[in-house]
Amino acid sequence: MIITGRAFSFIVLVLSFVFFYVAIQLAKKGKAPKIRRMVAMDAIDEAVGRATEEGKPVHYSPGYAYASLSSEQGPQTLASIGILSYVASLCARFDVPIIYNTCIADSLPLVEETLRAAYRNEGKPEAFDAKSIRYQPDQSTYVSAVLGTFQREKPAVNMMIGGLYYECVVIGEAANVIGATQIGGSANIHQMPFIIATCDYGMIGEEIFAGSAYVTKDPLVTSGIAGGDWMKMLLIVVTVVGVVLELAGVKVISQLLGW
Amino acid sequence: MSNVLRRREIILFITGIVGGLNLFEYFFAVKEVAAVASTIRTWVVVISAFALGLGIITAFRVHISHVKRRTKGQWPFSIWLMGFFVLLTLIGLWNPKFIVYDWTFKNVYVALSTTLYAITGFYIFSAAYRAFRARNIEAAILIISGVLILLRNAPIGEAIWTGFPILGEWVLMKGQVGGMRTLTFVAAVGLVAFGIRTLLGMERGYYGGE
C-alpha cells in the first residue's frame, strides 16, 4: 500500500513524531531537553532595545518568497510571521514603531492579524497602525520601496527573515549605509553568503523554522526543537554508517533509502 | 460568529486535518484519500485567490488612509498606486492584449525592474568588501576561496596562471559542496520539524495566536 521509494521517508517522519513525543513528555516531567542557544534570536531583544533608545522604528521584511504563500517558499514566510509575532510584541511593549514591507499579497491578512494580536496581547490595541504594513506588488517594486523606507525613515533595526532572493544583498547593504543593526535569516542557501556578509546576526539553515518556537521560552514548545535535533543526529549516524558500508561493498543502507 | 471561527481549536483542527490528509496521500496509494486531498488542494487555489483579494483590500485601506490624512511624502504616490491599479485591472479585464496594457508592462515595468536588478552588482561588491576583511582564520579561508572563484571566472585568472581555474573549479565543485549540502540537509529536517510543530499546534505565531 505504501508508495515505492517513500517507505524510508515515512519511517523518518514517524520517528520524528516519536522524538517529538518523547521530548514533550520529558518537558512535562520537568526534564526538558537542553537546546542550543540561538544568538540571532537572542539579539532581537537587544536590537529592539536599541531602537527604543534611539527613538527610531524597527523594519521587518519576509523577503520575496515568490510573492506567494502557496509557493515552495511559503513555509519560510509562515516561519517568518511566527518570529514577527514576537518582534511586534516587543515593539508594542516598548512603543517602538514597526514597519513591515512585503510583496506577498496573500500573506497580508495573516500579517495584519498577527500584528493586531501582538498589540492586543500587550494591552495596547489602539497603538496598532495598519499603515505600518506596506504592500508592494512584485520583487523590484518591493526592493525599491524598502530602499526608500530606509532613506526616509532611517530605522534603527532591519530584520529580513524568510525566503530571501536578490533583495537580501541590496536591502542588507542599504541598511548598513544607514547604520541599522541587522538580523537576517533564510533557508535559501544561495543567499546565506549575503546574510553573513551584510548582517550583524544571521540565522542559517533550519534556524528560522526553530526561531518562533525558541522565542516562546516555553519548555513544551522548545522541546520540539530538541526532537528535531535528535532526528538530525540519527540521520547523521545513518549517513556515516551508510558511507562506511558502501565503501565496504555492503549496500544495505542505499537499498533501504530506495525502499 | 467571527470570534467562534477565530478560535484556536478550529484553526488547529483544520490545519491538522488538511496536513494529515495530504501527508497520508503522499505516502499511501489510496484512491479515496487521493481524491479528497486533490479536492483540498483545489480549495487552496480558491482560498489563495480570496486571500489575494483580501490583501489588495488591505493595501487599498492603507493607501486610502494615507490620502485622507495627506501623509507627507506618501499620499500622492498612494493615488498613483490606486489609480494605476484600477486602470490596469479594468483594461486587463476588457482586453489583455490592448496595446496600453502590454506596452506599459514591457517598456516601463520590465525596464525599471531590470535596472534595479542590474545595480545588485554594486551591492555585491560592497558586501564582498565587508566580508573580505581577514579578521580571523575563517574569514581568511573565505577570502582565499572567493579570490580563487574570481580568478576562475575572470579570463585574467587563466592568463596569470593556468592553475587558477583548476583550483577555483575544485573549490566550486568539491570544497564547498559538503558545507552547502549540510545546510540543505539541516534546513530540510528543520522544515519537517516545523511542519510537525504546526500539525501539533505548537507553532502559534503564524495565526496571530498568543
Q: Of residues B200 and B149, which shows the higher confidence score?
A: B149
Whether B65 sits inside 8 A of A196 (CB atoms) is no
**pLDDT for B205:** 65
* ipTM of model over 0.90: no
- Scanning B147-186 for CB atoms below 8 A from A yields 180, 183-186
Complete edge-to-edge strand list for the sheet that includes strand A157-161: A133-135, A98-102, A58-61, A157-161, A181-186, A201-204
How far apart, in whole angstroms, are the C-alpha atoms of residue A52 and residue A58? 9
Instruction: Give A249 to chain B, closest Cα distance, Å.
Output: 23
Confirm or reject contact between A37 and chain B (CB < 8 A): no
Residues on chain B touching A79 (C-beta within 8 angstroms): 194, 206
Tell me which residue in A9, A113, A141 faces B208 most closely, judged by beta carbons. A113
Sorting pLDDT into bands at 50, 70 and 90, what band is B210?
low
Instruction: Give B156 to chain A, closest Cα distance, Å.
Output: 24
User: Would you say residue B23 has pLDDT above 60?
Assistant: yes
**pLDDT for A158:** 97
- Cα of A206 vs its chain's centroid, Å: 8
User: How do residues B51-107 score in pLDDT, each as one tens digit?
Assistant: 778 878 878 888 899 899 998 888 998 999 899 889 888 888 888 788 877 888 888
Please list the alpha-helical segments (H only) found in B28-162: 31-69, 75-94, 99-104, 110-118, 120-131, 137-153, 155-160
Residues on chain B touching A166 (C-beta within 8 angstroms): 117, 120
Tell me which residue in A82, A204, A232 faces B183 most closely, judged by beta carbons. A204
**pLDDT for A15:** 93
User: Would you say residue B14 has pLDDT above 90?
Assistant: no
Domains of chain A, each with CATH number or no CATH: 7-31+219-257 (no CATH), 39-214 (3.40.50)
Domain ranges of chain B: 2-69, 120-175
Sorting pLDDT into bands at 50, 70 and 90, what band is A119?
very high
Q: If you write DSSP's letter for every residue of B110-142 in order, what string do you get?
A: HHHHHHHHHTHHHHHHHHHHHHT--SSHHHHHH
Q: Of residues B77 and B7, which shows the higher confidence score?
A: B77
Phi, psi of A203 (to 5 degrees): -110, 120
Phi, psi of B162 (to 5 degrees): -70, -15
How far apart, in whole angstroms, are the C-alpha atoms of residue A142 and residue A159? 15
User: How do residues B97-142 score in pLDDT, each as one tens digit?
Assistant: 888 778 888 888 889 889 988 888 888 888 888 777 767 888 788 8
**pLDDT for B153:** 92
**pLDDT for A14:** 93
Nearest C-alpha in B relative to A139: B113
Residues on chain A touching B60 (C-beta within 8 angstroms): none
Confirm or reject contact between A235 and chain B (CB < 8 A): yes
Sorting pLDDT into bands at 50, 70 and 90, what band is B3?
low
Instruction: Give B184 to chain A, closest Cα distance, Å.
Output: 7
Confirm or reject contact between A253 and chain B (CB < 8 A): no
Instruction: Classify residue B33 as exposed, middle or buried by CB count within 10 Å of its CB (0-12, 13-18, 19+).
Output: middle
What single-letter amino acid sits at B98? Answer: F
